[in-house]
């Protein structure tokens, strides 16, 4: 049977750091060879003095081993040199039948006169001889049988020759493999202290030690060779451990030097467990190791792995394994070379130096072969697709995380004593006050007569020109407001571009360019709700006639926020016959995303992120292969920050690990999901800005409970659930206490309810009025202490804007 083709990669670096294709053959069957560094249990990693961090370059041959023939052809031991069965059959001997032929003479005599009525006939044999008679049908039958026997012998001779070649090839491969292992052992005979080099061959499910033990190595407990029947993640906090089980039931934990080493090895092992052909080779290896056949069979049957559930044939499994290992090797080469796309140039040297001891890929190219550039290009394109998918998924995680932050911030802001008063206010020309969305916008740019003969683009250009004329006046107003109230941040402009205005009008206002009111725009960031109330009062008293709209609807508790959870206040005013816009942000909301808040809003609007609450739902429908490849790219993102080195202020990497947890949960790597979640919860509790009762910590606790229940750890899951319920109860008590600040709840008598069914509604309405009244009283107290200048003479509080007296009033 002809050998199948492979397209793996190896680690001898090409011009661009990509390893070329390698093709080899093996009598065991298709598989992958990985060689990597692991930590000796008698040592710690990384070493304190840093020795061995980059001391050696390890080999991870991702060359798929090719099957030289099928199972029957590989059974060399069954070959017997039967010379008789291979001899040419003798030609058939025809057995002719002898036919005796006799020549006779008949003599006839007659008597009795003229009429000869008495006749006598006598027959005499005059000659006798024999003659052989040939049957043509028998000749044809014998010839056909002889030809058939010749054909059988000819086929046997071909099979024998093929078997001889196969046996010779297998012997050469066995010798080559032994020599390769010997070379690898020689290569790794002087590795740094505390490092063990293991070789994984997925064709026969074996793990072999290549390096020599260190001085402190426990040689008795050292695992030197194993036929693996099961592999699963270790629950150590470093997330670098793999627990492997031998076919004889023995368990060992091997600790990789890098996270991505453990991930790549575990995935390769899970893939090999799902391949039925590999099991035959592992059975042979187990018998060679002296393992009881029945015991090994039982272990193998009970621990086939998650990949065995996939409905794939062995050819498809080999192809998936080939693509996965090639991608992992390519990704590792990029990490070691510091060539991760999208990274800052100043980080490249650091990335290359901190890549650690991890397998690199070497080429195993047969003589006469050359690098397959097409394969390398295919791997690079596949990685680009997976990387884009990872970036999108991570962005979804970021958007939903920030949305939850906005919701939590707004919940806390509602505890402000002045909020009920603000919540009761009605905006000016605010369509959101009507209780429904997408209403007709009441504030528009002036529809001038000359616009009738102009195209939308020309109208937009004229509006941009008018915005530039109004900008200086808007700047003066913002300066005056900031000077009076002490803004956290102030920003003006830039003028909206024509193309951006046209896109907004088309997308939001059905092409009506006059409804775009933020050509000339500014932003003010106020400290809190009391400052916002002071700003509204100052704006009313200072330039009230210029105000065309005050939009407060998104700040009300019974209104939906902007897409993505953001809430703010917008003030539109008319300057120089042009509608301008002041966006007023509240500091607790602003600090969540800062100036990137609009990008957050735009992405949430574009991808409709408000339609689902769990970012991990974005992974729904992905197959196991894609999920495994996404984990490879996720490890690229955290290559410079191992989990055990993560600190509470590493926000970028915390988000990366949070996104990776979703992949672990979907990919049945539940142990690593638990380990990562516990680490993230610990970091969030250590953060001075978050703490154990923060909504983000609470969300991580919920994911941890889910992972524990999937692992069957019900007792631990119940403990986590108890903590979650306690935190939620405390939050509810906090909200209840805020509502009871100035009055006690009214007790409704059931008899009164029967007599007056509307009594409760009236009491609720009365309660709301009291709440607003108390809030307004609190605002007056704050106003007297913080904003006393609002009561001074308007002439002294006026802010010159350089406009005529008809345009503003201070």
Domain ranges in the chain are 24-70+185-343, 384-396+614-739, 397-611
What stretch of H or E contains 67?
strand 65-67
Residue-wise pLDDT for 463-490, tens only, equals 999 999 999 999 999 999 988 888 888 8
Beta bridge partners of 524: 490, 584
Quick one: pLDDT at residue 294? 58
Provide mean pLDDT across the span 503-528: 92
Non-local (6+) Cβ contacts of 551 within 8 A are 427, 430, 432, 569, 570, 571, 572
pLDDT of residue 17: 31
pLDDT the model gives residue 6: 32
Residues 6 or more apart in contact with residue 427 via CB below 8 angstroms = 433, 549, 550, 551, 552, 553
Q: Which residue has the higher pLDDT, 235 or 187?
A: 235
Task: For the chain, give the percent of residues with pLDDT over 70.
Answer: 70
- 670-686 helix and 651-666 helix, angle to the nearest 10 degrees: 150
Q: Are both 24-70+185-343 and 384-396+614-739 of the same fold?
A: no
Mean per-residue pLDDT, 284-299: 56
Strand partners, 225: 208
Least confident range of 57-71, 104-118, 477-491, 749-763: 57-71
pLDDT of residue 22 exceeding 70: no
Could you give the CA distance from residue 491 to residue 478 in angstroms, rounded to a whole number?
8
Query: Which tens digits make up the pLDDT trace of 304-363?
Result: 567 777 778 878 888 888 889 889 988 888 887 776 655 554 444 444 333 333 333 333
Of the listed ranges 21-35, 127-141, 754-768, the least confidently predicted one is 21-35
* Tens digit of each residue's pLDDT (9 = 90 or more) over 715-741: 999 999 999 999 888 877 776 665 555
Contact 403, 344 (CB under 8 A): no
**pLDDT for 106 beyond 90:** no
Assess whether pLDDT exceeds 50 at residue 173. yes
d(CA 578, CA 150): 103
Q: Which residues contact 252 (CB under 8 A, 6 or more apart)?
A: 223, 226, 243, 244, 246
Please give the CATH topology (third level) of the domain spanning 384-396+614-739.
1.25.40
Task: Give CATH for domain 397-611.
Answer: 3.30.460.10
> pLDDT digit string (tens) for 789-798?
888 744 454 4
- Average pLDDT value for residue range 14-30: 37
**CA dihedral for 431, 437, 440, 445, sign (positive or negative):** positive
Give the integer Cα–Cα distance in Å for 480 and 490: 11
pTM of the full structure: 0.73
User: Which pLDDT does position 506 carry in this prediction?
Assistant: 92
Kindly state the average pLDDT of the residues 760-773. Answer: 79
Q: What's the rounded Cα separation, in Å, for the pair 308 and 273?
A: 7
Quote the mean pLDDT of the chain.
78
Position 276 pLDDT exceeds 80: no
CATH of 24-70+185-343, one of 3.40.50.2300, 3.40.50.1820, 2.30.29.30, 2.30.40.10: 2.30.29.30
Q: What is the pLDDT of residue 86?
A: 66
Percent of the chain with pLDDT over 90: 37
Looking at per-residue confidence, does 680 or 188 come out higher? Answer: 680
Strongest mean pLDDT among 34-48, 604-618, 704-718:
704-718
């Amino acid at each position: 049977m002809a050998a199948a083709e492979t397209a793996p990669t190896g680690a001898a670096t090409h011009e661009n750091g990509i390893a070329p294709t390698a093709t080899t053959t093996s009598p065991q069957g298709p598989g992958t060879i990985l060689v990597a560094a692991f930590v000796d249990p008698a040592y710690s990693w990384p070493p304190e003095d840093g020795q061995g961090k980059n001391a050696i370059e390890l080999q991870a041959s991702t060359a798929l081993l090719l099957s030289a023939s099928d199972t029957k052809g590989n059974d060399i031991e069954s070959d017997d040199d039967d010379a008789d069965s291979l001899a040419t059959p003798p030609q058939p001997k025809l057995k002719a039948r002898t036919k005796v032929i006799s020549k006779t003479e008949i003599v006839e005599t007659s008597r009795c006169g003229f009429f000869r009525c008495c006749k006598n006939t006598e027959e005499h044999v005059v000659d006798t001889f024999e003659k052989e008679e040939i049957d043509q049908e028998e000749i044809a039958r014998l010839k056909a049988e002889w030809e058939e026997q010749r054909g059988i012998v000819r086929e046997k001779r071909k099979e024998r020759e093929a078997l001889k070649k196969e046996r010779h090839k297998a012997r050469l491969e066995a010798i080559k493999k032994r020599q390769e292992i010997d070379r690898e052992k020689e290569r790794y005979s002087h590795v740094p202290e505390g490092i063990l080099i293991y070789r994984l061959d997925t064709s026969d499910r074996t793990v072999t030690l290549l390096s020599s033990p260190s001085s402190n190595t426990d040689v008795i407990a050292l695992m030197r060779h194993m036929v693996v029947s099961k592999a699963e993640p270790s629950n150590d906090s470093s997330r670098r451990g793999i627990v492997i089980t031998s076919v004889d039931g023995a368990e060992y934990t091997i600790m990789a030097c890098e996270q991505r080493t453990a991930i790549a090895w575990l995935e390769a092992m899970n893939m090999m467990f799902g391949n039925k052909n590999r099991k035959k080779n592992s059975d042979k290896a187990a018998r060679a190791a002296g393992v009881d056949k029945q015991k090994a069979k039982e272990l193998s049957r009970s621990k086939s792995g998650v990949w065995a559930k996939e409905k794939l044939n062995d050819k498809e499994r080999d192809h998936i394994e080939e693509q996965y290992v090639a991608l992992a090797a390519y990704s590792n080469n990029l990490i070691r070379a510091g060539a991760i796309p999208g990274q800052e140039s100043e980080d490249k040297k650091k990335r290359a130096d901190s890549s650690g001891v991890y397998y690199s890929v070497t080429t195993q190219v047969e003589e006469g072969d050359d690098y397959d550039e097409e394969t390398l290009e295919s791997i690079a394109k596949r990685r680009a697709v997976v990387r884009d998918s990872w970036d999108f998924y991570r962005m979804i995680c970021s958007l939903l995380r920030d949305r939850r932050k906005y919701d939590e911030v707004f919940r806390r802001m509602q505890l402000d004593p002045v909020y009920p008063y603000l919540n009761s206010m009605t905006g000016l020309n605010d369509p959101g006050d009507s209780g429904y969305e997408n209403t007709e916008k009441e504030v528009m740019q002036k529809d001038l007569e000359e616009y009738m003969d102009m195209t939308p683009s020309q109208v937009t250009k004229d509006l941009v020109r008018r915005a530039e004329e109004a900008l200086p006046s808007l700047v003066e107003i913002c300066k005056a407001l900031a000077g009076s109230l002490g803004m956290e941040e102030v920003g003006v402009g830039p003028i909206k571009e024509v193309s951006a205005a046209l896109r907004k009008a088309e997308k939001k206002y059905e092409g009506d360019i006059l409804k775009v009111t933020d050509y000339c725009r500014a932003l003010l960031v106020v400290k809190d709700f009391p400052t916002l109330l002071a700003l509204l009062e100052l704006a009313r008293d200072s330039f009230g006639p210029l105000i065309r709209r005050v939009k407060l609807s998104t700040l009300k508790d019974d209104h939906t926020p902007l897409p993505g959870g953001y809430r703010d206040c917008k003030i539109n005013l008319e300057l120089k016959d042009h509608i301008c816009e002041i966006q007023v942000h509240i500091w607790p909301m602003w600090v969540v995303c800062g100036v990137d808040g609009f990008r957050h809003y735009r992405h949430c609007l574009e991808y409709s992120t408000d339609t689902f609450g769990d970012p991990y739902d974005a992974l729904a429908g992905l197959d196991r292969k894609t999920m495994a490849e996404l984990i490879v790219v996720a490890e690229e993102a955290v290559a410079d920050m191992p989990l055990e080195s993560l600190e509470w202020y590493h926000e970028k990497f915390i988000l990366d690990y949070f996104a990776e947890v979703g992949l672990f949960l979907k990919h049945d790597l539940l142990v690593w999901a638990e380990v990562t979640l516990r680490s993230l919860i610990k970091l969030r509790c250590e953060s001075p800005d978050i703490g154990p009762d923060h909504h983000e910590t609470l969300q991580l606790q919920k994911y941890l409970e889910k992972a524990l229940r999937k692992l069957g750890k019900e007792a631990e899951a119940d403990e986590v659930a108890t903590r979650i319920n306690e935190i939620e109860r405390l939050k509810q008590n906090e909200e209840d206490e805020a509502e009871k600040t100035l009055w006690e709840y009214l007790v409704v008598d059931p008899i009164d309810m029967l007599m007056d069914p509307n009594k409760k509604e009236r009491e609720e309405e009365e309660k709301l009025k009291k709440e607003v009244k108390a809030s307004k009283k609190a605002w007056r107290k704050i106003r007297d202490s913080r904003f006393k200048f609002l009561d001074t003479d308007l002439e002294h509080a006026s802010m010159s804007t350089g406009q005529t007296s008809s345009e503003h009033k201070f």
